[in-house]
Amino acid sequence: MQGFFVMNDLYSLSQLIKTHPLYSVERDAIHRVYLQLARAGKLDAENLLRVLKEQQPVLFDSLQKNHALFKRHCEESVKLKLKGVHLVCYGEELFPSSCYRMAEPPLTLAFQGAPAWLNERTIAVVGSREPSYESVQWMEKEFTPFCEKEKPCVISGGARGIDQKAHSVALRNASATVVVLPSGLGELYPESLYEWLAPVLDQGGCFLSEYAYEQRMHKHLFHHRNRLIAALGRGTLLVEARRRSGTLITAQQAAQLGRPVWVVPGHPLDPHFGGSLDMLAEGASLVRDAQDLSMCFGAELMSEMITAIGIEH
């Protein structure tokens, strides 16, 4: 029945699905199919097509007619695996559990390195690309001892400024770090990230993307990418954010996911911190130093542990 799909490449089939116009309309229903099959231990291309034929016949018929495109996706997947790229689909074991909370979780992810998000001690760090001197100093004087003590997995976006400072501090203190890209793994953005590949991978971290391997950076992908950063952190540290900035959007997305947001404060007359102060006014927690951050981080990990124990019982 499945023709070319007997190759059973779930990732390639998923790539085909997520580019179909019906996917955005039937996203939740399609995701439920993935989860149902995963829970039954039957998540593969053949079983997925069988269920889609019953529940999404229009989508199934369209997929059946796209043998050539599916074959190209399969060939590309083989090439990526040979390059050391790992491919993950919604519902699979390595798919980040925190992403299930998202309103629009990615259907597929690709990463180079180790799945460091499996570390329960993750913290997302966001801030300005052009941070003030004081913010950079705060990262050096306070985030450094936090990393030394807590050994978290640091999640950020690889951009110049606070993002790269967070990755750098993590690497200097034997912490894994995840670089979440606004581009494909074959088009690292910014280009300076190519220099970070070996250090990040050698320390058990990874470069992560939900986009096609050759996808170049595009302005609209930044905000889209940021929701993934927010989801991957147990909490989000907001170091410096203007109003109406991408950094602030990431912090707001974390709050919407029920994740705590920890904010480094600034002076009310400093526009660089307008968004940061707005988050504090809306209920985010203020952090002055490494001790504050450790207390907040520890409290969140304990809360997650208590919740997990409650669910198990």
Architecture of the 116-309 domain: 3-Layer(aba) Sandwich (3.40)
The arithmetic mean of pLDDT across residues 13-34, rounded, is 96
Q: Domain boundaries in the chain?
A: 3-112, 116-309
CB atoms within 10 A of CB 298: 12
Buried b (16+ CB within 10 A) or exposed e, 125-141: bbbbbebbeebbebbee
Q: pLDDT tens-digit profile of 121-138?
A: 999 999 999 999 999 999
- Kindly list the distances between the CA atom of residue 223 and the CA atoms of 25, 219, 260, in Å, as whole numbers in the listed order: 21, 8, 19
Band of pLDDT at residue 68, cut at 50, 70 and 90: confident
- Read off the DSSP letter of residue 56: -
d(CA 170, CA 172): 6
Q: pLDDT tens-digit profile of 143-175?
A: 999 999 999 999 999 999 999 999 999 999 999
CB under 8 Å to 247, separation ≥6 — which residues? 126, 127, 128, 162, 238, 240, 241, 275
Q: Tell the residue number behind the tokens 């997990």, with chain if given.
A: 308
From the CA atom positions of the chain, what is the Rg in Å?
Answer: 20
Which one-letter amino acid corresponds to residue 20? H
d(CA 200, CA 194): 10
Q: pLDDT tens-digit profile of 211-231?
A: 999 999 998 999 899 999 999
pTM, to two decimals:
0.93
Q: What pLDDT shows up at residue 6? A: 41
The arithmetic mean of pLDDT across residues 16-34, rounded, is 96
Band of pLDDT at residue 8, cut at 50, 70 and 90: low
Q: What pLDDT shows up at residue 309? A: 65
